[in-house]
Structure 1
C-alpha cells in the first residue's frame, strides 16, 4: 500500500503540501481529488521519490521508493504523457524500460496489445496523438506487472471509447488486489471509477472516505466536491 505520513512540501515561502497524511489500500480504486494547485501532483512526485518532502515521509509497502529494487516491478506510474522521447519508437521505449528493470522482452508485446498500440509499436512517438501517448504511458506503468499503480489524469486525450477502456482497466486492476491511486479533475468519471476518495485543497486533507460516504448528502460528486473545497 501507499502511506503518506505528515508530508509537508515548501517552495520558499509557498507551501504546496501541508502536513498531509493518508493511506491508499489495495483492492480498490482510490480517487485523488483537488482543485488546481491543491498539491496532488507534488504529493505523487514525493511518493515516487521525484521530490523530497520538507517534512514527513511517503512509503510504498513500508519503504521509500528510492529503496525499492527493480522499482517497475513494485510500482507503475503515469505522471506525464510526454515522458517518452519523440524520436524513439514506442516498442524501443518500452524495451529500454524493461531491460533496466530485468523484465523480459515478451512483456513489451503484451502491454502494447493490452493498451491497443500493438499495430503502431514500431512508429516514432513524435507522431502519436495525445491519446496514444497516454496509452503508451499506461503501457509503461503496467510493464513490470506491479502491485502498486499511480495515474495522474489518465483519461487526458482519450476518446469516449478510450475513457470506458481505462475505467474498466483501473477497476480490473483493483479487483486483482492491486493498490490503485488515480488523480483526476473529472468528477463524473471518478464517480463511476473510484471506490474511495482522498480530497485535498491548499495542500491539506479535506476528506478520506468511501465514495458513498462523500456523496451521501449531495446530489452528485461534483456538488460534494465543491462543498468540500469552497472556503
Structure 2
C-alpha cells in the first residue's frame, strides 16, 4: 500500500474500468477580455501550452514499467465510476520520433494491452497523437526517472493530471507536489482519485491486444 497523502490532502480510491494514458474514460477493447481580437487569441490557445515541461528530458530513461498511482480530472465518467477503477500498468519504450505506450489493465476481469504511439513535439518534453480526428497532447511536467513522473494530458481542451510511480510506493513529498499542481490547475482536490495497488496485469493474451493507432 502506498503511503497516505500528507495531512490536508485528499486522494480518493476506487476499484473497474480500464483507463488509458491519453484519456480519462474507459478504454475500448474499445475569460473576460477587452476586445474581440484578444478573445479570439485566448480561445485558440491550448491550455496545455501553458504547462512547463521538464527541462532536458531524457526520453530513453523513461523506458520500462510505470504504475498509475493517481489521476485528477473533471471528467464526469470518473466522477460517477471512480469506485470501479482497476490497477493500471504502462510500459514505455523509446522510439526514433517519439515513444510507444502499452497500457495494461482489466476490463470485465480480462487483461487488455492497449498500444499507443506518441510523436515528440517541437518542444522537448511534449508529445502528441491523433486518434479518429482527435488530438491528445501530453507533457511530462516532472520526473526523476526512477521513482515518479507527473504528466499532464489534454484532450478536447480538457486537462488531466496523472501521477505514475515505478512502484506503488510514492513518498508524501511527491504526493503533496502533485496535489498542489492539481489545485493550481483549477481542479478541486476532491477530484483526485487513487488507483488500486493490487491486481495488476503484467501481460495480455494475443486475443486481448489492441493497436489503438488503427
What TM-score results when the alignment is normalised by the length of structure 1?
Answer: 0.30
